[in-house]
Structure 1
Amino acid sequence: MVGYKELKNLQGRIVLITGASSGMGEQIAYQAAKKGAIVIGCARRIEKLEEVVATCRRISGNDAYAFQVDVSIPNQIERVVEKVESSIGPIDVLVNDAGFGLMKEALDFDMAIAERMFRVNVLGLMYMSKYVALHMAERRRGAIINIASIAGKIATPKASVYSATKFAVLGYSNALRLELKPLGISVLTVNPGPVRTDFFDIADESGHYLDSIGALSLNPEIVAEKVVKSIGTSRRELNLPEYMQLAHHLYELCPRLGDYLAGGIFNKK
């Protein structure tokens, strides 16, 4: 059996999730706990994270652990991975969810924030993936899930920097998938549209974006359920809502029409 297929049953498996203190990361933690996983939550906000892992313990009846980590600092990533591997057990599943965005046009963008966004959204994900995958490779078993975005497939105004980070995540993940497959490690990218989480507390300075798109926004619990369900499969991408995959294909086939739609009808920022 291919290594990652052994992870279809998560009972007693160790699932490490970055950005687990809120939003998608929090919901993925709960869904993994429902499957009996040992959840390792990583985030900067340790108080909120402790509440999340306490809930995971109640859900799973199993252990759960909180580690305060800033993924923009490589040494912190390396330390927590080694701590988990040496003191708790082998990391079977890695979910890279930590990230942030900001809706602002490129000419007005603070480049210090742009640099931090790349350190968190891209480099933090790369460091975490490498340090965890080195251990997974020794066991020839593992699953890596990188939370990207539909913004990494279809760029829209006021998302130039954020889209750039997610395009980078997709490029890295697509190559990583090919490199790790012979080692029994799967790599899945998740590309959701707007999800109703506190991500927009920072990203949307106007406070009106989710209201403007209404029913088009996604339920984070449903997205998280689909993500966890994909563990142990060979699926390479999860695009949500599913019609966005069709929109991406049309964008590539008809780029002028795609630009018109992305800059007009689909631009709600």
Structure 2
Amino acid sequence: MTQVVLITGCSKGGIGYALAKQFAQEKNLVFATTRNLDALEGLEEYGCEKEELDINSQASIDSVVQKIIDRVGHIDVLINNAGAPAVGAMMDIDLETAQRCVNTNVFGTLKVTRAVAKHMAKRGKGKIVNIGSVVGYTSTPWAGIYALSKAAVHSMSDTLRIELKPFGIQVVVVAPGAITSNFGNAGAKLVSVPEDSLYISVAKFIIARATASQGPGSTPTDVFATHVTKKVLKPVSPNYITFGATSWIFVVFYYLPSFIRDFFLYKRFGLNHIKTNKQQD
């Protein structure tokens, strides 16, 4: 059965683009959105409709959602994929970058959800899929702001799942592991280590964190999209879909005692190489 699917953050090279393509290939009517329409180039070949959408703008959200409702009458599946990166030590990271990350990943997701869910509630059915992250389970050094934003997405989704259940709306969290995409490169452009940083001696570890998920072992975007699409299109989807290279490690860490997790992350992200220059009394 053809479903109407609205996906945010579909820029070429990302998982949103791959999801739009896969849902369209499964014979669904896909509305692929992003802030820059040029970044959606090629999706029309798969039958996707393209719309300009800024999830930080309520006016933009309301306009696009209403346009879809006016045209086809409803939205069956919303996939909140649009997000913003943030890489750096908690002590250093530019607060404007941090606020943009949280506002986009958390409140932007909530804004779109609220706009779409009210229409779903009138029909008594719908599915909202929020893209979280494995760092929403276990935060890592140098990605603290991004991790807290994704942990908030997980938490928010858990509440929405219960609050929207009476209206026949399912809420699903997708927690990607290491997936091949352009997201890491976007984060790399923002990361910087101030010269007076406490962590200047491990700057290379901080900079490397931006693209840590883009190694040769990362899961191809189309493989990820195929897996997620299959799960989402089931009549009843899992509450959490965790998939991708290294994802199992973060789930295990979530359940391990914190001292074991901390010991591993401390060494993995280079904190044992920090030169502290402690002052002597």
TM-score range normalised by the length of the shorter chain: 0.7 to 0.9
3-state SS of 2:76 partner: strand
Question: CA 1:201/1:109 → structure 2, altered by over 3 Å: closer, same or farther?
Answer: same
Structure 2 counterpart of 1:184, from 145, 168, 173: 168
- C-alpha displacement at 1:263, in angstroms? 2.7
**Does residue 1:35 correspond to 2:35, yes or no?**
no
Match of 1:258 in 2: 261
Give the counterpart letter for 2:118 in structure 1: L
The answer to which of 214-223 and 252-261 deviates more is 214-223
Match of 2:240 in 1: 237
Match of 1:194 in 2: 178
What pairs up with 1:112-261 in 2 under 5 angstroms? Answer: 112-205=96-189, 206=207, 210=211, 214-231=215-232, 232-241=235-244, 244-245=247-248, 247-261=250-264
Q: Deviations over 1:212-234 (max 9, x none)?
A: 87344221111111111112323
**Does residue 1:87 correspond to 2:90, yes or no?**
no
The answer to which of 175-184 and 90-99 deviates more is 175-184
**1:15–1:93 CA contact under 8 A, matched in 2:** yes
User: RMSD of the TM alignment (CA)?
Assistant: 2.2
- C-alpha displacement at 1:245, in angstroms? 4.3
**1:114–1:161 CA contact under 8 A, matched in 2:** yes
Match of 1:6 in 2: none
What pairs up with 1:60-79 in 2 under 5 angstroms? Answer: 64-79=48-63
State the distance in 1 between where 2:245 and 2:125 align.
Answer: 29
**2:53–2:60 CA contact under 8 A, matched in 1:** yes
Question: CA 1:134/1:111 → structure 2, altered by over 3 Å: closer, same or farther?
Answer: same
Question: CA 1:213/1:46 → structure 2, altered by over 3 Å: closer, same or farther?
Answer: closer
Which one has more relative contact order, counting CA pairs under 8 Å at least 6 apart? 1
Give the counterpart letter for 2:11 in structure 1: S
The answer to which of 98-107 and 135-144 deviates more is 98-107
Give the counterpart letter for 1:56 in structure 2: Y
**1:33–1:39 CA contact under 8 A, matched in 2:** yes
Q: Following superposition, which runs of at least 4 residues in structure 1 exceed 2 angstroms of deviation?
A: 204-216, 241-253, 262-265
**2:106–2:153 CA contact under 8 A, matched in 1:** yes
* Number of residue pairs aligned between Structure 1 and Structure 2: 251
Which TM-score applies when normalising by structure 1?
Answer: 0.86
**1:20–1:52 CA contact under 8 A, matched in 2:** no
Which TM-score applies when normalising by structure 2?
Answer: 0.83
- C-alpha displacement at 1:33, in angstroms? 0.7
